[in-house]
A and B are shown apart, each in its own frame.
Chain A
Amino acid sequence: MIKKGEEHTIEVSARLLRHISRGIYRTPAGALKELVSNAYDAGASKITINSGYPLFEKIVIKDNGSGMSKEVFISIIKRIGLSDKIAGTEFIMPDSRGKRVMVGHYGIGLLAIGQLCKKVVITSKTEKSIEGFEATIDFEQFEVENIGGIKRSKIKDEKLLEQKDKSIHDQKLPIGKCFIKKLKYDTKHRNECFTKLDLMEVRDVVQKKLSGGRLKEYQDLSSEHKYSANFKDMLTLFRDQEALIRRGQYPYEKLCWELATYCPLRYPEVKIYEAGQPLNFFKKLAEGHKFTLILDGMEIYKPNESIFLDKKDSGWKDVFVWKEEEYSKGKKVSGYLIFKQKIRPKCMQGVLVRVSGIAVGMYDLTYLEYPYHEATKLEQLTGELFVEGLSGAMNIDRNSFNETDDSYLDFVKWFHEKLHSEVFPKIKKEMQQKRSKSIIKLFDDLTVAFCRTLHKKYKISARPLGKNLGLFHKQNKMLQINTNHPEGKIKKATMEKLFLAAVLVANNLVEAETMERILIEISKSKEELKSNA
C-alpha cells in the first residue's frame, strides 16, 4: 500500500510564542529577512524572491542552499524555539575557502512565514540524494482579527499564554498542521540541493500593506505604481521620493530597500570600492559572503550612499575606516563612517550594525545612544560596522540587541570611544579650520572691497606674525593684523570691530599700540561683566 503522506502538528514553545506574539506585525520585509537569513544559514549563494508584485497574491522564494531532509524538517516543526541551529556557529561554505557564521536562532523562520500567509508549500532536497519532500502547512493558529479598529494577529490559546502558571510557559503549543509527502527526482539531479517556499493565500493585510491599498482609505494619498527597470532606477526613485515613502507611499520600493539593507549583498560598482580606495576592504568582505538576491527580476545590492552623489555634490569631507580592531577579547569589528555635507536618502544617516553581514535593525541615528551632543554632525555621517561575536546578543527578532549583554556593551564602549576620541574631534578640528579659513578670506575680501571703494592706497590684511609681535604691524602701505595675538583672532562676531580698529590705525587716527591697549581693555571689561553676572 502506498503511503501518500503524513500529517504532523507544528508546535512552538509557549515562551517563544508569547514573545513573538507581542508586536507580531513586523514589516513584511522583516518577515522576508527571516527567510533570507535561513537561506544564508543553509549555505545558499543565490536566492530568488518572486513577490507577485503588484498584487502580492503569492510569494515564491527559492534558494540553492543545502536543503533539508524530511526527517530534519519534522524535527524542526516539532521543536520550534528549540532549534539545533545555534546562532554564532561557524560552518564551512561548500566550494569556498570562507566560513559563514550562522545568524539564525530558534528556527523561527516558519513563524515568519505564518505572518505572511495562511498556507505555504515547502519543497526541499539535499545534496547526494534523489529524494526530497513537499510539506503543506496551514497556519490556522495565526488569525487576523479586527480588534478595536486595528487589525492584529491573534494567537489561539492566547489566554493560556497570559496565565502566570510557569508550567504553561514550558509547554509547547500547536500553531498549525503540516502535511508531508516524499518526492523523487531523476538521478541527474542527485547533486542538486534547494529549498522552495510557495507562500499562498498571502494575508490580506500584507497584500494591502505592500500594494499601498490601505492608503486608498485616505483621500489625499494614493499609491502609484512606479516601474523601475533595475535596482539603480529604484534607488533613484527611493531617494527622490523619500518624503512620500515616509508617509507610506511606495511600500514596495520600501520593501526592496529594506531587503537590500538587511541582506549580506555585494556593493554597487562605484569608485569608492575599487582597489586602492578607502572602502575596498569592505567590498571584499561583502564578496566573501557570496550571496546574491534576485527580487522580481532585479538583482538587489547594497544601497550605498555614494551612488546617490549628484553632480553638484561636493563628495566626502572625510572617511574613517577601522579594520579588524579588537573590541573585546577575541572579538573583532571592522567598519567605516563617511562624513559628508548632505546624506541622502536621510534614512542612511547613522550607523548600521551587521552581524555576519546581515543588518541588525536599520541605520541608527543615535549611534547606539552616543551620550554626547554633536548637533548636526550626527546627520552628516553614514557608515557600517561589521561585528563578530554578537550573535548571542541579538534579540529574537534579529532587529535589535539585548542591551545588557556583555559583548554588546563592550562593542558599544569601543564604538563610542572611537566617536569621542577620533571621529568628532577630527571633524570639529577640520570644521574649525575651514571656518577660520573662510572667515579670514571674508575679512580679506572685505578689506579689498573697502580699499577699492574709498580709493585708499593702503592695504589691510590678517596674517599669523608670531606671538611676540604686537597686534598691528605697519610696513610701507600694508597694515597687518597679527592673528597670533589674543585680540587678533578673526571671528565672525568680532570681525567688524577689528576691521574698524585697523582702519583707524591705518589712517593714523590712532596709534597702533594705543588701539591694541583699547581692545585689550574692552576684552577685560567684557570678561569682568560675564563673571559678575
Chain B
Amino acid sequence: MPEIDDLMIKCPLKQDFREKFWLPYVEKLAKKPINYLTLYCPPAMDVRYFYDKGLIEFRDGVYQGVVGVTWNEKGYVKTLNNLEGRLEKFKIGKINDFLREKDKELSDKFPFDVINLDYCNHLVQNYVSDNLEDIERVVSLQKDRNCNQFVLFITTRTDKNAKNKCGFPPNFIKMLEQRIELNISKVPSFKVKYNSLFNSRKPSSDEFLVIGIVKFISNILAEKEYFIKDCSAGWLVRNNNKPEIELLHLAFLVSLKTTYRKKCFYEYGGGRVYLESSAVRILDQIIDKKIYALTEKDDKAKLERIYGTYLTRLKETNFELSIPSPLEQSS
C-alpha cells in the first residue's frame, strides 16, 4: 500500500478539504501574505496550494514566512522535491525539541497566522503523546508573541478498526467522556445544545470523538486565554484498501479573549479543565449537518473530475526543469 504521504499528494478528497475548510478559514483572517507553520509536511501540497491562492509570498526562490517541520530525512527529501523553491525555515524532528528555550531558530519565527498540525497518526497514542505537547507549546508561544488571532488546523486518525498501535488509548477516550459530562453539567449553553441534539439518541462514535477532541483542544486554548471563534470538522475515509483509515480534519479560528473573564475551571484528574462555551460551535455544525465524511469509494471519482487537472498542475511544478513526458515506446 502506498505511503499516506504519496496518497495525499494526489488526493482529490484532501483537496476538497483544502477548498471547503482550509481556504475559507484562512480568508477569515483577511491577511495576505500569511506566516505559516506546517507540521509534519512531506507532500507540501498545502504550501503549494496557499501560494497558488496568493496567500503565501514567493520571493527570491523562498516561500516567505513559511516554516516546515518534518519527522525524518526521507520527509525532508520529499518536501524539497515538491517545491519550486525553499521554505524560510525547515527542520527535521519534533517541534517540541525546537521550541525549547535554548533553540531560538524556530521560536523566533512565531507568531504564525496559520498553523497546520497534520498528524499521519493519532493525536494521542498509546504512550504519552508528544503531539499534545506540540499543541500546548505552539499555543503557548503564540500567546507569548502576542498573537491575537490565528487559524489552527489539526488532522488526526480516528480509525475504529484499530489494532494495537492505532486508535486512541482507552484512558484518553474515558477522559473525553468525563470532560463532556463535566461541560454538560457546568456550562448551560453547552448543555442546551447537547441535549437538543442527543435527547433521543446517543452520539455516534464519530460525533463523540469530534465533540470530545474539540473540547479537549478548547481546553488547551483556554489555558492561554484563547477561545474558539469558529470551528469545523470533517472526515476523510480511505476505504479503497484495507485496513480502512479515517482522518478527522478540524479547523479552528482562534481569538484572544479581549475582555477579562474570570477563568472557570475545575480541578480534574491532577490537572485543570477549563469550562468555556466556545466549543459549542461544533454542536452547531452537527445540528446544521455540516460535518460530513468524504470516502474514497463514494467520492473519489467525482472529486477527481473536479480537482484532477488542478492537482496535476500543482504537483508537477517544482524547482526542477520541466520536461515533457513521453507518449509511449516507439516500435
- A residues with a Cβ closer than 8 A to B are 2-5, 46-48, 50, 52-55, 57, 60, 62-64, 123, 125, 131-132, 134, 181-186, 189, 192, 194, 196, 225, 227-230, 294, 296-299
7 contacts between A and B (CB under 8 A): A48-B321, A186-B327, A194-B321, A229-B89, A296-B80, A296-B86, A298-B85
**A229 near B87 (CB under 8 angstroms)?**
yes
Partner of A54, one of B77, B83, B88, B329: B77
User: How many angstroms from the CA of A442 to the CA of B85 in the assembled complex?
Assistant: 55
CB contacts under 8 Å to A, within B74-92, are: 74, 76-77, 80-81, 83-92
Q: Does B326 contact A (CB under 8 A)?
A: yes
A297–B89 touching, CB < 8 Å: no
**A47-B321 contact given A53-B80, A54-B76, A183-B326, CB 8 Å threshold:** yes
A88 to chain B, nearest CB (A): 28
Q: Which 8 pairs from chain A and chain B are nearest by CB? A: A183-B326, A182-B330, A62-B321, A189-B324, A2-B331, A297-B319, A48-B320, A48-B321
B83 neighbours in A (Cβ, 8 Å): 297
- A3 adjacent to B326 (CB under 8 Å): no
In whole angstroms, what is the CA distance A183 to B328 when docked?
A: 6
Report B170 CB to chain A, min CB distance, Å: 38
Q: Does B1 contact A (CB under 8 A)?
A: no
Bound CA–CA A229/B87 (angstroms): 6
Query: Do residues A298 and B92 form an inter-chain contact, with CB atoms below 8 A?
Result: no
Check: B97 CB closer than 8 A to any chain A CB.
no
Given the contacts A50-B81, A189-B324, A297-B80, A229 and B86 also touching, CB distance less than 8 Å: yes
Nearest residue in B to A63 (C-beta to C-beta)?
B321
Q: Is B73 an interface residue (CB 8 A)?
A: yes
Q: Which residue of A lies closest to B85 (CB)?
A: A297
Contacts of A55 in B (CB 8 A): 73-74, 77
B61, B77, B319, B327: the one contacting A230 at CB < 8 Å is B61
B60 at interface, CB cutoff 8 A:
yes
- In this complex, what residue of B is CB-closest to A130? B327
Q: Shortest beta-carbon distance, B201 to chain A, in Å?
A: 52
Give Cα distance in the complex from A62 to B321, angstroms. 6
Shortest CB-to-CB span from B85 to chain A, Å, is 5
* B323 engages A297 (CB within 8 Å): no
- Contact flag A294-B319 (CB < 8 Å), given A2-B331, A227-B89, A229-B88: yes
In the complex the two chains form, is B77's CB within 8 Å of A52's CB?
A: yes
Report B138 CB to chain A, min CB distance, Å: 20
B330 touches A299 (CB 8 A): no
- Please, how many angstroms separate the alpha-carbon atoms of A60 and B321 in the complex? 10
Q: Within 8 Å CB of B318, what residues of A?
A: 297
Report how far A189 CA is from B61 CA in the complex, Å: 27
Nearest opposing residue in chain B for A49, CB measure: B320
B319 surroundings in chain A (CB, below 8 A): 48, 50, 294, 296-297
Q: How far, in Å, is B327 (CB) from chain A's closest CB? A: 5
Contacts of A296 in B (CB 8 A): 80, 86, 319
Say yes or no for B62: interface residue by CB 8 A criterion. yes
Q: How far is the CA of A522 from the CA of B80 in the complex (A)?
A: 76
Against A, the Cβ 8 Å flags (1 = close, 0 = not) of B130-161 are 00000000000000000000000000000000
In the complex, what residues of A have CB within 8 A of residue B329's CB? 2, 4-5, 181-184
Query: What 11 new A-B contacts, CB under 8 Å, besides A53-B80, A54-B77, A183-B327?
Result: A3-B331, A4-B329, A54-B76, A55-B73, A183-B329, A184-B329, A184-B330, A186-B324, A194-B321, A228-B86, A294-B321
Residues of A within 8 A of B80 (CB): 50, 53, 296-297
Interface residues of B in 308-324 (CB under 8 A from A): 318-321, 323-324
Whether the Cβ atoms of B76 and A229 lie closer than 8 Å is no
Is A230 in contact with B60, judged by CB distance below 8 angstroms?
Answer: yes
Q: In the docked arrangement, what's the CA distance between A3 and B329, Å? A: 9
Bitwise, B6-30 to A at CB < 8 A (1) or not (0) is 0000000000000000000000000
**Chain A residues whose CB sits within 8 angstroms of the CB of B327 once the complex forms:** 183-186
Bound-complex Cα distance A5 to B329 (A): 9
Whether the pair A64, B84 counts as a contact (CB closer than 8 A) is no
* A227–B318 alpha-carbon span in the complex (Å): 19
In chain A, what residue has the closest Cβ to B91?
A: A227
For window 31-81 of chain B, which residues contact chain A by CB distance below 8 Å?
60-62, 73-74, 76-77, 80-81
CB distance from A133 to the nearest CB of B (A): 9
Query: Closest Cβ of chain B: how far from A222's Cβ, in Å?
Result: 14
> Which A-chain residue is minimally distant from B319 (CB atoms)?
A297
**A3 CA / B323 CA spacing, docked (Å):** 25
